[in-house]
Structure 1
Amino acid sequence: MLLALIQRLFALISLALLAAGGYLAWSWWRLHEILQPLPGERLDAQDWRLWTGGALIAWSLLGRLPMALLLGRRGDDQARFEHEAGVSVETADGAVLHLEADGPQDAPVLVFVHGWAMESGTWWEARRALAKRFQVVVYDLAGLGKSTQPRDGHYSLDRFADHLLTVVNRAGRRRVILVGHSIGGMTVLTFCRRYPEMLGQQVAGIVLENTTSVDPARTTILGEALHAMEPVLKPLMRLDIWLQPLVWAMNWQSYLSGATHLGMRIGGFGTRPTKAQLNQVALDATRNSPAVQAKGNLAMMAWGVADDLPAMRVPALVFIGGRDLVTVPSAGEVIAWKLPQARPHPVQDAGHMGPMELAEEYNTAIAAFADEVFSQGARSADAVQGAGAAAAASSDADAVRPRSEPRPFA
């Protein structure tokens, strides 16, 4: 939510700079070509219009290159945030999800759900760090990346939770930990509310990264002030849907100028990101449909699960970014306090994109949490098996048997 507003603000600033550059260049041309100078009159003093206008136009088209150098640091040259080969999974509402998987097909499963306006490529570091021990599954949320919109174009967190269920069902007998960042965490919490019978069973645990349990406008750095502006923000977001081609063009111009990079650096990161990380976040926010982003933002405004948290009885790891402006630390603290089996994991220097900028700390904690949760599940299964008798093979056992055999994710 806040990142979308920051992106729009900087896009307008970028457009204003382009317009100013165009005006200055035009005014210089007008002086020299339309208003012919008198004999002996010199107009050299007005050449600043040409140079300044040209510089502003050049910055508006090429500014992302110097901005990336100024705002980002050198990082892993092998970083690959783009899509890889995957499979297409159709949901009940007609959305086709692009899904990718790494790691052993017989290993416990970690399903990652990315943040809004982003794509599954943001999990590149997690895939590299965790796929040796777990099967890491990532997918694009409906309408983002390579995934398509629902058939009717309607968006809600309930639908995102149903899409997540479609992905989880592909794990068959294997136990799963759900990992969600930002709206991904909101999706995981909605899943827990809608499918409580799966908690502690097939869903062995959940990981919530820099997320909230209420309308995210209320848990930004602007807090209730932004929430109070929703009667104005909602019509503006609907305008994004109706004027998508114009908004998309404005977003691309902002990306080229580097204004989007500046906005994402301020709003998204708590530390200095790598150039590749910063560019990927800016690129995802630019190339994904403004109409889809607006629909998702409207859906988030109508969402909340705070009252349902005490009933979600599942082991939970809650990451709290100390420098997060989009979901302030208190948002995660409330979740960790209300979930019965939650443990908070503060990350002091993390901004909203903490899972990307401080990936090593996040992924190390996820691995330790997964080892603990999956090992507890294995011990429980062994205890049940050891105590079983003939009834273990009866229809009663069939009643709790998973619905399907394992199927490869990709």
Structure 2
Amino acid sequence: MMLLSLYQRVAALLSLAILAIGAGFIWSWFRLRDILADYPDQLMDSQDWRLWAGGLLIAWALLGRIPVSLLLGEPGDDGDRLRRLPGEMVETQDGARLHVERTGPVDAPVLIFVHGWGLEAGVWWEARQMLSDRYQVVTYDLAGLGKSKPYRDRRYSLDRFADDLMTLVSEACPRKVVLVGHSIGGMTVQTFCRRYPETLGRQVVGVVLENTTHTDPLLTTALGEGLQSLEPIIKPLTKLDIPLQPLAWLMNWQSYLSGATHLAMRFGGFGTTPTKAQLEQVARAVTRNAPAVQARGNLAMMDWDVTADLPEMRIPALVFLGGADLVTVAQAGETIVRRMPQARPVHVRDAGHLGPLELAHEYNTAIARFADEVFTRGARSADSVQGREPYKPQAGENALSFPAVPGTWPG
């Protein structure tokens, strides 16, 4: 999500420029009224366009999200996604308090979902709807985002995110777990595999990596080397969000009200047309979440890499690659697939970086098949829940088959 943060900041600056230009037109109109007070009224009337133009620009800067949302989003029946579940607070070893939401049978195997940076657990709305009748679906807000509280010392790293995830994996014991991570969530899952290899193939029986990378995200965007060369500039500018958080927050909210944030999320994050509720959820999350927290997380990502560790992550892995993803190009996922011994790709041609939202059915159907395959035979069978028939792939869908590997695969 780091590239989306940059898009958001550019959008915020453009939105402020619109507000400033509008204010400038109105100010010039008042100045001309004083200057031309002794001249015929017709001369002043010819300058009324300044007042109208300024008023329209200011109105757009404060209310633009309404028409922008109507134009960029399509109707959907997912309005409930904007309502958060009550959840519970779970304290981690580093002092963060995580807001955790659980749905599904309490005795079923567990899917733990880790969202992308700047977002919150509500983005897994479709996953809960599709999967919680057969598994227990656990979603949570990363430390400092959504309803979760930050670390006491305000220090952020992927290792800490992985340790937080281990807290939830331990809570699920003795039930088996599949970890699902999107973007920084996928980076967190990979870091978990590096830090806790003893859990792999035992309690954690599979991982799902969605639109994620194996290294500094600036190196695996559609902007490629151009953005990488700007890292010495991007890092100091990102750090400024920490002491200047109140100003950054005001900029973000003004950008949200104008609809500029919605534009940045639509064209930077989605490969297809999202629903209005999906677009609003993403734009609202990146605006509400504290700029200082988002900056610390972005800085942590720039110093992260697990490329050399991938061959040691010997666990069944499903890797989603978005064909229209500008934030994390498909080549990053292909590298993960080549280096992880038991990884298999799922190519989703039209998916942008927010593919798990916009093409949720395709993502979650593949996750369900994968989970059915890797959970132990002694766990609650997905096919026995509510009389379900075993899933049969439809024409054109990815066919996934994972051979048993002694000592690694369950069953």
TM-score, normalised relative to structure 2: 0.90
Residue matched to 2:227: 226
What one-letter code is carried by the residue in structure 2 that aligns with 1:72?
G
Distance in 1, matches of 2:42 and 2:356, equals 63
**Alpha-carbon distance, 1:224 to partner:** 1.9
**Residue 262, structure 1, aligned to residue 263, structure 2:** yes
The residue that corresponds to 2:394 in the other structure is: none
Q: What is the identity, as a one-letter code, of the residue corresponding to 1:281?
A: V
Matched residue type, 2:55: G
Residue 403 of structure 1: aligned partner: none
Corresponding residue for residue 364 of structure 2: 363
Q: Distance in 2 between matches of 1:230 and 1:377?
A: 49
Report 1:241-390 matches (<5 A).
241-375=242-376
The answer to whether 1:178 aligns with 2:179 is yes
- Cα gap change, 1:377/1:115 in structure 2, threshold over 3 Å: closer, same or farther? farther
RMSD in angstroms over aligned alpha carbons? 1.3
1:88 aligns with 2:127: no
* Equivalent in the alignment of 1:54: 55
* Runs ≥4 residues deviating over 6 A: none
1:196 aligns with 2:197: yes
Instruction: Tell me, in whole angstroms, the C-alpha distance in 2 between the residues paired with 1:374 and 1:81.
Output: 31
Task: Tell me the equivalent position of 1:45.
Answer: 46
Q: For 1:146, give the aligned amino acid.
A: K
Q: Which residue of 1 aligns with 2:162?
A: 161
Gap change, CA 1:196 and 1:377, over 3 Å in 2: farther
Q: Which runs of 5+ in 2 are unaligned?
A: 381-411
Distance in 2 (alpha carbons) for counterparts of 1:345 and 1:372: 15
User: Structure 1 counterpart of 2:229, which letter?
Assistant: A
1:335 is aligned with what amino acid? I
* Distance in 1 of aligned mates of 2:361 and 2:329: 21
Matched-pair contact (CA < 8 Å) for 1:81–1:123: no
CA distance in 1, matches of 2:339, 2:181: 18
Query: 1:320/1:40 Cα in 2 relative to 1: closer, same or farther (>3 Å)?
Result: closer
Partner amino acid, structure 2, of 1:292: V
Match of 2:406 in 1: none
Q: Which amino acid is the alignment partner of residue 22 of structure 2?
A: G
1:40 CA displacement: 5.8
**Are 1:146 and 2:144 an aligned pair?**
no
Distance across 1 between alignment mates of 2:364 and 2:45: 61
Secondary structure, counterpart of 1:98 in structure 2? strand
The count of corresponding residues between Structure 1 and Structure 2 is 379
Which secondary structure state, in structure 1, belongs to the residue aligned with residue 43 of structure 2?
coil
Deviation string 1:381-405 (CA, Å, 9 cap, x unpaired) is xxxxxxxxxxxxxxxxxxxxxxxxx
Change (3 A) 1:77 1:334: closer
Counterpart Cα distance in 1 of 2:315 and 2:35: 74
Which whole-Å CA distance do the structure 1 matches of 2:285 and 2:198 have between them? 35
Instruction: Quote the offset at 1:376 in angstroms.
Output: 5.7
Alpha-carbon distance in structure 1 between the residues aligned to 2:333 and 2:42 = 68
Output the CA distance in 1 between the equivalents of 2:64 and 2:42.
Answer: 36
Structure 1 contact 324–352 (Cα < 8 Å) conserved: yes
Q: TM-score, normalised by structure 1?
A: 0.91
Instruction: State the alpha-carbon separation in 1 of the partners of residues 376 and 324 from structure 2.
Output: 33
How far did residue 79 of structure 1 move? 3.4
Alpha-carbon distance, 1:337 to partner: 1.2
Residues 81, 333 of structure 1: alpha-carbon distance in 2 compared, 3 angstrom cutoff = farther
Q: 1:235 to 1:111 in 2, by over 3 A?
A: same
- Secondary structure of the structure 2 residue equivalent to 1:3: helix
Aligned to 2:240: 239
Contact (CA 8 Å) 1:113, 1:141: kept in 2 or not?
yes
Asked if structure 1 preserves the Cα contact closer than 8 Å seen for 2:79 and 2:277, the reply is no
* Aligned-partner Cα distance in 2 for 1:349–1:41: 57
Residue 399 of structure 2: aligned partner: none
* Amino acid in the other structure paired with 2:48: D
Q: 1:150 to 1:374 in 2, by over 3 A?
A: same
Matched residue, 2:107: 106
Give percent identity, aligned residues only. 67
Give how far 1:77 is off: 4.5
Distance in 1 between the 2:66 and 2:42 partners?
40
Local SS of the residue matching 2:155:
coil
Letter in 2 for 1:373: V
What does 1:30-41 correspond to in 2, within 5 Å? Answer: 30-33=31-34, 35-39=36-40
Paired residue secondary structure (1:241): coil
Q: How far off is 1:226 after superposition?
A: 1.1
Q: Is the 8 Å Cα contact of residues 37 and 43 (structure 1) preserved in structure 2?
A: no
SS of the residue 1:43 aligns to: helix
User: In structure 2, the residue corresponding to 1:147 is in which secondary structure?
Assistant: coil
Q: CA deviation at 1:172?
A: 1.7
Q: Deviations over 1:73-100 (max 9, x none)?
A: 1111543233211110111111000000
Counterpart code for 1:22: A
Report the secondary structure of 1:92's partner residue: coil
Q: Which runs of 5+ in 1 are unaligned?
A: 380-410
